[in-house]
Amino acid sequence: MKFFEGDDEEAAAAVIDPVNYTLTLDPGTDDDDLKQAIENTARLKQDEGTPVSGDLGLVIKARDDRDRILAALYEKARYGGVVTVTVGGRDLDSLPPNPEFNQRGAVPVTISVEPGPAFTFGEVAFSGDAEGRNPADYGLVPGARADSTLILKAGEKVVVDLKAEGRPLARLTERNATADHKTQTVDVVIAAEGGPVAPVGEVGVSGTKTVDPDFVQRYSRINAGQPYSPEALTKAAERLRTLGVFSSVTIREADKLAPDGSLPMTIEVSEGKHRYFGVGAQYSNTDGLGLQGYWGHRNLFGQAESLRLEGSVNRIGESDIGNLDYSVGILFSKPGAFGPASTFNASLKASIVDPDAYKAFTTTAAAGVSVELSDRDTVSAGGEVMWSDVEDAFGKNKYLTLAIPIEYVRDTRDDKLNPTEGYRAMISAKPSYEIERGTFFSSFEGAITGYQAFGEEKRFVLAGKLAAGTIIGGDELSDIPATRRFFLGGGGTVRGYGYQEISPRDGRNKLLGGRSYVAATAEARIGVTETIGVVPFIDVGTVSTDKVPDFKDIRAGAGIGLRYATPFGPLRLDVAVPLKKYPGGTSFGVYAGIGQSF
């Protein structure tokens, strides 16, 4: 039944001299993979029901489909395939240059495919500067199925490998495949010319408006005289994109060497909008609704300096207005402050938080430097001053704490928002001195997350996280500010429990916080469709007043989540229940946000 009958008429009216057709497509095989490849390649099949422009337009589309199907057969190693096409009952090759079918109804089109047998690789020869390389390293294994895509990729990889040797002018001089229909084999010859080894020459910058071009060149870490490396150029472009000031970054190489034998290149950039603002939100039934807002500038002084003003209100709906959590902050960042691999960061933050464990007004000033040791490794260190006014199980106390936070991170994840492979490991230390009581104490934390995908489409991902921490120093637990003690529970740690609900307690059932903790999470991220996924998970954690966890009170939460993929990361909805509920505590948790849980 057609509910909108005018749609077809409008579509036909949009096509000049519309000609309708009917298609009969016989793929000639029971192989589902090959059949799908043929049907997906045929545009007449994909556009079935849509008229083409004129009789000649129909013939052109049919010829194009024949070529496309033959290419698809080659991709499946079917070099003896035959594709027969008839239009209006006549063979495609017998039609005149300007065919006229003179039919009132739809023109019948038939496509008949005889795929033929799959060919295998016979002799494989590499010559020129590609000589001596192992064909198997390039996917060309004698006796294996000779897909044309493997031959194309092998040639491309030879050039890539030659360029990786510092030869920027490397090129393919021959890529030939000869099919022997008697033996059903394909002989392959690949030849390449490496050209001279050349260093990077003069590096120019174009397209900047308000960003300092000298800064762009320095931050890219592409310098004249260094060895030519395609990998280094790719990383340089990615590095510049992460600054956030450019909408596009392209590194163009000269097509010939300079007189001194070096290769000149130009970094072409296009600046994006430097000012931005936004809002965000997350929700859980245990923590209530949280709202965030921010405004920022990505190029404050012309060298990608970032200034960000942000504020948030949390626990809306979970508590009355007088007990909500509030925070404001000013964050400044200067990339390349002490060399291209370094970034200076400074912040001033203030917050009023009122979870069940304590109520605190806190002001924190911090400054530090992070340094990229490699593409995967980052180390950071700095100084921090925190003043806090706390009311908790130990009464009302004020703290003035000086700290030196130090952190090392190794990140090999393939995607920061939705990883499927790799891991992220973090270890941190925070030596501290509390001035009011003259107390020295230090906190140490470590965490590792890992991801392993299964299947070609990576629709099944196992993800795990293990974290632990300890605080050493301070004669009494009360000597350590409540905001520095350890708590678990909530969307970021053990789901199913309320925020900071997992904690040692005193005789009055007041939450104390702990000196140590261990937490672990396991998730199975299962892609049901391209955009929808389900995630069963279990979280486990324990907090202790001892420096080393005693594991006397282990709490666990289990549940299931729903994910919806978007360009800016998956939308997340998790539902969890505590497996060992506290008396009068949270019975279940619902958590919503953007991005995976870790």
* DSSP string computed for 103-132: -SSPEEEEEEEE--PPPEEEEEEEEETTTT
Residues 253 and 367 both lie in one domain: no
The answer as to whether 146 is a domain residue is: yes
Q: What pLDDT is recorded for position 7?
A: 44
491/282 Cα distance (integer angstroms): 10
- The CATH number given to whatever domain includes residue 247 is 3.10.20.310
Residues 152 and 205 both lie in one domain: no
Residues 259 and 281 both lie in one domain: no
Spatial neighbors of 511 by CB under 8 A, at least 6 apart, are 356, 357, 358, 392, 393, 487, 500, 501, 503, 504, 505
Spatial neighbors of 583 by CB under 8 A, at least 6 apart, are none
Closest CA to 228 of 162, 130, 172: 162
Q: What pLDDT is recorded for position 10?
A: 46
Residues 242 and 266 both lie in one domain: yes
Give the domain extent around 129: 120-193
Tokens 């933050």 belong to residue: 349
Q: What pLDDT is recorded for position 499?
A: 87
Residues 436 and 502 both lie in one domain: yes
The CA-based angle 570-571-575, given to 5 degrees, is 120
Count of CA atoms in the C-beta half-sphere (13 A) of 534: 4
Closest CA to 198 of 265, 262, 253, 251: 262
Q: What pLDDT is recorded for position 332?
A: 98
Residues 420 and 443 both lie in one domain: yes
Q: What pLDDT is recorded for position 283?
A: 76
Other beta carbons within 10 Å of 259: 6
Q: What pLDDT is recorded for position 354?
A: 87
Q: What pLDDT is recorded for position 281?
A: 80
The answer as to whether 551 is a domain residue is: yes
> Would you say 572 and 597 are in contact if contact means Cβ atoms under 8 Å apart?
yes
One pLDDT digit (tens) per residue for the chain, 598 residues:
333 334 444 444 466 888 899 999 999 998 889 999 999 999 999 998 889 988 899 999 999 999 999 999 999 999 999 999 999 889 999 999 888 887 678 999 999 999 999 999 999 999 999 999 999 999 999 999 999 999 999 999 999 999 999 999 999 999 999 999 999 999 999 999 999 999 999 999 999 999 999 999 999 999 999 999 999 999 999 999 999 999 999 999 999 999 999 999 999 999 999 999 988 887 777 667 888 999 999 999 999 999 999 999 987 876 666 678 899 999 999 999 999 999 999 999 999 998 888 999 999 999 999 999 998 999 999 999 999 999 999 999 999 999 999 999 999 999 888 899 999 999 999 999 999 999 999 999 999 999 999 987 888 999 999 999 999 998 899 999 999 999 999 888 999 998 899 999 998 989 999 999 999 999 999 999 889 999 999 999 999 999 999 999 999 999 999 999 888 788 999 999 999 999 988 899 888 888 888 8
Predicted TM-score (pTM) of this structure: 0.78
> Would you say 539 and 496 are in contact if contact means Cβ atoms under 8 Å apart?
yes
Residues 54 and 137 both lie in one domain: no
The answer as to whether 575 is a domain residue is: yes
Q: What pLDDT is recorded for position 246?
A: 95
Q: What pLDDT is recorded for position 320?
A: 64
- The CATH number given to whatever domain includes residue 100 is 3.10.20
> How many structural domains compose the chain?
4
Residues 381 and 427 both lie in one domain: yes
Residues 397 and 475 both lie in one domain: yes
Boundary-marking domain end, from 193, 224, 239: 193
Residues 188 and 225 both lie in one domain: no
542/527 Cα distance (integer angstroms): 31
> Would you say 42 and 69 are in contact if contact means Cβ atoms under 8 Å apart?
yes
- The CATH number given to whatever domain includes residue 363 is 2.40.160.50
- Largest Cα–Cα distance in the chain? 99
Residues 562 and 511 both lie in one domain: yes
